[in-house]
Amino acid sequence: MKKSIVFSFIIASMSLLITGCSENRTATTTNSNKAQINMVDGVYSAYFDDYNDLSLNLIDNLTEINENLKHTEEETSASILQFINLIEESDLIKVPQISGENLKLRQKEDYYSISVETKDFYNRPWIFYGFDDGDSNSYVKITNISSEIGQLDSDEIYEFMNAMDPIPDDGVFYPPYTEMYEETIDMNDKSIDVLFAKRDNDPRVYANFIYDDSMVIICCSEENIESGFLNEFGLGNLELK
Amino acid sequence: MKISKLLSVILGFTVISASTPYSTAIAVTSNGSGLNVSMNNTSIDCLPNYISQAYDMTNVVEVSDLDATDEYSITFLNNDGTYSLLQFMTPIKYYDSNSNSYRFIDNEIVTSKETGYEFENKANSFSSMFPCSSSDGVVFKDSDYSVKMIPVSDNDNSADKVVSDYNSECEYISYGNVYGTDTDLRYYIENNGLKETLVLNDRPDFSTYSFELQLEGLEIKEHSGSSIILYDIETGEETLKLNPVFIQDSSDYFNTTYNNTYSVEAIDYNDYLVTVNLDAEFLNSDEIVYPCTVDPTIYYTRMGTLSGSYATQSGNTVLSNYYQAGSFNGVGECITYIKVNGLENKKWLNPNNILECIMTFKDCSAGYYNSGTITCYDSNSILNVNNVSYSQLVSALGMTIDSVAVSNVDCYYDFDITYLLKKWISNQIGQGGFTYNYGCIFRGDSTLLGRRAYSDGTTYHPYIEIKFTRDYTIENGIYKISSASNQKYIQNNGLSQNVTATSTTISNSGKWRITNDGDGLYTIQPYDDLSKYLYVSSTNANTNLTVSSSAFKWYITANNNGTFRLMPATSASVSTAATYSSGNVILSDYTNANDKNWNINLLYFANVDNYFDNGYSVRYGETNNASQAILNGYMEAISDRYRELLGLDFIYSTNYYNSGVDQCKGTVTSSNIDSLCGHTSNHTGYQSVKSSFISDSSASNTLTAAYWTGHKIDTTGMGGVYTTSYNRSFSSGYRIYMLELCNSTNREYNSKSVLMHELNHQYGAPDHYHEILADGTCRGGAICSVCGSNPRPSTCIMCQGRMDITSDNVICDGCKGQMITHLEGHHIN
């Protein structure tokens, strides 16, 4: 009940912001000047400078995005709304950690450290966390799959990805990976099955796994994986502000 | 040699400079920084009184730095966007080598810092120093020479600083009774030098006055005459001039005589006795009312932009800081002849942009209160200002330029000489007109009693005001610049290297970014190295154009034949322009010759035809005409940015289009605008919209057809996306589909953004935002700003979609590179 009241209040606040805004852009920010909503060719995303920015603005920005497309893109709207609800239920955002500390984000001019992309695998929002990894464009992306795991009654990554493939009978694995193999990795205090893969014309490695109720894809250099990056990896909880 | 009781010394020193008076100031930079000198204290509040009081500052917004280094002029930016350049007869600024900057001249008399002197002038390029005792001699000096003037007299009197009776802002130094009782020497500090005046308070016993002239760096060659020249010892150039002297009495009618001469005797090396022989008959006449003023006695001046004289009916030519018209007792009618010199240094002006030119004088005709008219005439003959006769002026009277009624005294009168100035400038740039050497003539009507306009040199300075607009023909953008003589392109060859023009084929090093600095001047930067600027180390002829890190500025002025002249904008006085010379580009004196004119063209061209339907106008509640105007506004904004970022010349049109959706709905209203078509052909589906527009519009690889609608369009499945979507704008083939729906708040911002995004596609830029397509690949691929292995910046409009299109990074380097590659293919201008 309490959650509903809070959510309604946010919606109302957003409406005021949109209608009362004197700037001629739809991308409005809420609690911070940093976070930014972007829309290009009908595709919405939200950018954040750091973890604090994310905890302050994630819900507001996703809510605003949902308001903008709920009448035109029902599937996307529904997945965003589900994403919001899952976070609000816990008041926590899953964030990547190394040895118990939040992953150090990249600080690169003209590139955002954290973004939420609404048109990604399985037509659901994913949160991207960019990090420094030599010359590679490396990131960890995370999405909540707790409901799907419940339906599948399995946390096998390969099984999950097959089940989520939007076109399961086309003979193409989704996402379009090559050189796939599975390996069990001691990850922090857990033993996790990781599906490693590569993509054409891309030197990076993709490590796909399910961690608690989240699906995680790490895209980074092969050297980084070989140096034991995954052994120190874990997910932490960032409280909503 | 007994020369006691010798009297009045009447001298006029005039610098006769063979070279431009401006080059010295520019060349004297102390730190090797070439032309990079600055102007101090250029705010309106810091202007000297003689400018702010003489000129109506009501409409002035700020002081322009256009002519910061020009000693004779100042330019104001007016609140209507025009400029007013005031060109003075005397310098108003001087170069201060200590600060490597230009400062306004300040003629205040202050306590001297020099040992042995009581007073001196406050701020100028020269020093005038006054000893406590007149027998120690007054010194006038600048960096190259000095003159010491010692009255030959038994009397020795002390200096007093006096405030003028007639002008509280005018101070002078007075030595009383120097040549005996009732003979006072007065020294006035003027912008252009030092003026000595001898006042005879009563009838003198004698009519010759002498002084010793001690020179350093100068010598005298002639030994008698109405004027004496002082020559530079090293260069032999005429440097100073003792002008003809006149005496004037205190009657209401200014009884005047010019029958006075000099005689000079060498005493020692560079030491001379100068005697002035005054008109004894005049001095002893019963009609003369004392005191009489021998004026000017010692007058030092540099040649200004205005030069003039007046000729008397009685046969004299008078060079002074007075201009006279009408009848004067003793000399008859006076006619003034004035030339506006230095216009060879105003070749950057476009005659078509000159709005007005006014010559302003202050009437100081004490004693004359009758009304009359003074007329300004064009001169039919080129006459010598220094030696013009009354009859010559009468014969040379040409077309009437302006007539001004004069009545009150001590007020300003303006003559409109716009016609003449345009002709004079046109002649300078080889576009017709006639030379400024003809000058103009000022004559009173037959009943006019003598009127005198003057400069006292200290508090009032005659000037011309040239009101003009800047030449904004070239807008910010990327251009190629080729010689009008052979079409060869100016090419950057690296830092400090001479630029060349050797090829008619354009390369990257032949592309230049031209930027208006907001003050009508331009920087020209090599596009292959935007940290550098087109540069010259000097404005002298034969100087090579190079490339420097210094943000050097240029005049870019349109010629009548569509070409341009490029002139270094270090000063408002410049005569040289970029010139093609055997594969090099150098400065030379501008004439309207092909090798001095340049074609300046944007690099590429592209056409866009916009089509909007009733759905668009109805969506935004406006008429078709309003939609057309608004869309043209968006196109103009995009055009500005493409010109600046890519050198793309954007040609566009916007027209109503009876679209397939309009036809489907019949009458389009706000009630059916969101309705989807129920026909089999699904007119509101994006594929139907697309095929309909393709058949209705023309397009090619240089012509984009853009469809704007406000109808709800189903875009589900478009572009490899399997989820439902509506009104996603897109680019396909040679057409773009502007389907995005906006509200009144975000319409302009979003429309411009989306338009640029889609047009960028037309010119080769790919998307690099993140969107997973039906096959699991990302739309951005390897360059996706989020997931790509070689990501492009998120700040690019090909990632952000909606952003401020005026931001510096609206198109990232990667996308820009691809667009240029595309434009090079088939959009070459």
Radius of gyration of chain A (CA): 18
Strand B171-175 and strand B159-163: the pairing is antiparallel
More reliable by pLDDT, A168 or B651: B651
Hey, what are A26's tokens? 């739809």
Interchain contact, A40 vs B769, CB within 8 Å: yes
Tokens read off for B681: 């052909």
> How far is it, in rounded angstroms, from Cα B794 to Cα A49?
13
pLDDT at B4 over 50: no
A27 contacts chain B (CB < 8 A): yes
Average pLDDT over residues B292-314: 68
Does B462 sit behind a cis peptide bond, omega within 30 degrees of 0 on the bond before it? Answer: no
pLDDT value for B27? 23
Instruction: Show residues of chain A in contact with B806, CB under 8 Å.
Output: none
Q: How far is CA B603 from the centre of its chain?
A: 29
CB contact under 8 A, B776 and A203: no
- The nearest alpha carbon in chain A to B716 belongs to A73
Q: Which amino acid is at B478?
A: I
Q: Is A175 on the interface with B (CB under 8 A)?
A: yes
Residues in chain B within 8 Å Cβ distance of A41: 719, 728-730, 757, 767, 769, 771, 801
- The pLDDT mean for chain B works out to 85
Nearest Cα of chain B lies from the Cα of A2 at a distance, in angstroms, of: 33
Q: Which residue, among A15, A22, A41, A79, would best test binding to B if mutated, counting the most B CBs under 10 Å from its CB?
A: A41
Does the distance separating the beta carbons of B775 and A117 come in below 8 Å?
no
Instruction: Look at chain A and count its residues.
Output: 241
Indicate whether B654 pLDDT > 80: yes
- Residue A14: is its pLDDT beyond 80? no
* Residue A25, CA distances (Å) to A72, B90, B380, B710, B752 in order: 19, 56, 66, 18, 11
Contacts of B789 in chain A (CB under 8 A): 136-137, 201-204
Q: State the CB neighbour count (10 A cutoff) for residue B257.
A: 22
Answer positive or negative: Cα dihedral of B108, B110, B114, B116: positive
Secondary structure string (H, E, C) spanning B204-216:
CCCCEEEEEEEEE
Q: Is the CB of A20 inside 8 Å of chain B's CB atoms?
A: no
CB B117 within 8 A of CB B83: no
| pLDDT bracket for residue B399 (50, 70, 90) | very high
Whether B776 and A175 lie within 8 Å, measured CB to CB: yes
| Whole-number pLDDT of residue A148 | 84
H or E stretch at A51: helix A51-69
Using CA atoms, how far apart are residues B63 and B83, in angstroms rounded to an integer?
10
Strand order in A233-239's β-sheet?
A101-102, A92-98, A233-239
Look at strands B440-444 and B564-568 and give their pairing.
unpaired
Q: Name chain A contacts of B785, Cβ cutoff 8 Å.
A: 111
pLDDT value of position B36: 39
Chain B residues near residue A139 by CB distance under 8 angstroms: 786-787
Own/partner contacts of A180-184, CB < 8 Å, gap of 24 or more, are A182/A157, A182/A158
CB distance A115 to A128 below 8 Å: yes
Question: Sorting pLDDT into bands at 50, 70 and 90, what band is B24?
Answer: very low
Q: In B271-313, which ranges are continuous DSSP H helix?
A: 280-284
Detail the DSSP E strand segments found in B668-815: 703-708, 730-732, 735-738
A125 cis-preceded (ω within 30 degrees of 0): no
Q: How many angstroms separate the CA atoms of B651 and B673, rounded?
A: 31
The Cα of A40 is separated from the nearest Cα of chain B by a number of Å equal to 4
Biggest distance spanned by C-alpha atoms of chain B: 124
Tokens of B166: 């007639």
Q: What pLDDT score was predicted for residue A58?
A: 95
Give me the DSSP letters along B725-765: -B---EEETTEEEE-----TTTHHHHHHHHHHHHHHHHTTP
pLDDT of residue B306: 61
Position with higher pLDDT, A30 vs B137: B137
Per residue in B208-218, pLDDT tens? 888 899 999 99
- B503 confidence band (pLDDT: 50, 70, 90): very high
Which has more confidence, B775 or B814?
B814
CA B135/CA A179 separation, integer angstroms: 107
Higher pLDDT, B129 or A151: B129
pLDDT at residue B345 tops 90: no
Q: Does B329 have pLDDT greater than 70?
A: yes
C-alpha distance from A176 to closest chain B C-alpha (Å): 6
pLDDT band, very low/low/confident/very high, at A191 (cuts 50, 70, 90) = very high
- Of the candidates B748, B789, B793, which has its C-beta nearest A24's C-beta? B748
Of residues B587, B604, B602, B564, the one with CA closest to residue B499: B587
Q: How far apart are CA B92 and CA B21, in angstroms?
A: 13
pLDDT for B519 beyond 60: yes
Residues 34-63 of A with CB under 8 A from B: 38-43, 45, 47
Higher pLDDT, B303 or B220: B220
pLDDT the model gives residue A64:
93
* More confident call, A4 vs B187: B187
- Is B745 in Cβ contact with A21 (below 8 Å)? yes
Distances (CA, A) of B793 to A45, A112, B2: 15, 9, 92
Q: In what order do the strands lie in the sheet with B261-268?
A: B106-111, B119-123, B127-130, B138-141, B146-151, B208-216, B271-277, B261-268, B224-225
User: What's the CA angle centered on B225, arms B221 and B226, to 5 degrees?
Assistant: 125
C-beta neighbour count of B465 within 10 angstroms: 17
Which residues in chain B have Cβ-Cβ distances shorter than 8 Å to A21?
Answer: 745
DSSP 8-state code for residue B538: -
DSSP A128: E
CB contact under 8 A, B767 and A40: yes
Task: Give the pLDDT of residue A136.
Answer: 80
Q: What is the pLDDT of residue B44?
A: 61
**Among B289-303, B309-323, B365-379, B609-623, which stretch is predicted with the lowest mean pLDDT?**
B289-303
A41–B771 CB contact, under 8 Å: yes
Q: What is the DSSP string of B598-662?
A: EEEEESEEEEEEEEE-HHHHHHTT--HHHHHHHHHHHHHHHHHHHHHHH-EEEEEEEEE---HHH
Q: Is the separation of the CB atoms in B325 and B336 below 8 Å?
A: yes
Q: Return the percent helix, strand and coil in chain B, to nearest 5.
A: 15, 35, 45
Tell me which of B620, B713, B743, B745 to substitute to probe the interface with A (most A C-beta atoms closer than 10 Å): B745
Q: Which residues are CB-neighbours of A151 under 8 A, at least 6 positions away?
A: none
- The rounded mean pLDDT for chain A is 82
Establish, for the pair of chains A and B, how many residue pairs have beta carbons separated by less than 8 Å. 121
Nearest C-alpha neighbor of B454 from the set B319, B360, B323: B323
CB B124 within 8 A of CB B194: no
**C-alpha angle B470/B471/B475, rounded to 5°?**
120
pLDDT at B147 over 60: yes
B396 vs B428: CA distance, rounded Å: 22
Average pLDDT over residues A216-239: 95
Dihedral of CA B532/B538/B539/B540: which sign? Answer: negative
Query: CA geometry: angle at B361 spanning B358 and B367, to 5°?
Result: 150
Supply the pTM of this predicted model: 0.71
> What three-state secondary structure class fits B385?
helix
Distance from C-alpha of B746 to C-alpha of B727, rounded to nearest angstrom: 16
Window from A24-28, A165-169, B186-190, B530-534 with minimum mean pLDDT: A24-28
Angle subtended by helix axes B624-646 and B747-762, to nearest 10 = 50
CA angle centred on B437, ends B433 and B441, rounded to 5° = 95
Mean pLDDT, rounded, for B509-514:
95
- The kind and range of the H/E element at B294 are strand B292-302
- Report the pLDDT value the prediction gives residue B62, as an integer from 0 to 100: 85
Q: Residue B702's pLDDT is what?
A: 96
The region of weakest confidence among B46-60, B434-448, B606-620, B775-789 is B46-60
Strands B584-589 and B576-581: antiparallel
Residue A175 to residue B794, Cβ atoms within 8 A: no
Q: What is the pLDDT of residue B572?
A: 66
Q: Do B788 and A137 touch (CB under 8 A)?
A: yes
For residue B242, which of B218, B206, B217 has the smallest C-alpha distance? B218
Q: Which residues of A touch B795 (CB under 8 A)?
A: 110
Mean pLDDT of B625-652: 95
Q: Let me know how long chain B is.
A: 829
Residue B414 confidence (pLDDT) above 80: yes
pLDDT (average), residues B656-660: 96
Query: Which tokens go with B683?
Result: 């007119």
Residue B400 pLDDT: 97
Choose the weakest-confidence range: A26-35, B665-674, B752-761: A26-35
Mean pLDDT of A171-182: 85
- Tokens representing B805? 């299109």
Contact residues for A97 (Cβ-Cβ < 8 A; gap 6+): A103, A233, A234, A235, A236
Q: To the nearest whole percent, how much of chain B has pLDDT over 70? A: 88
Q: Which residues of A touch B810 (CB under 8 A)?
A: none
Residue B21 contacts residue B70 (beta carbons within 8 Å): no
Chain-chain contact of B769 with A76 (C-beta, under 8 angstroms): no
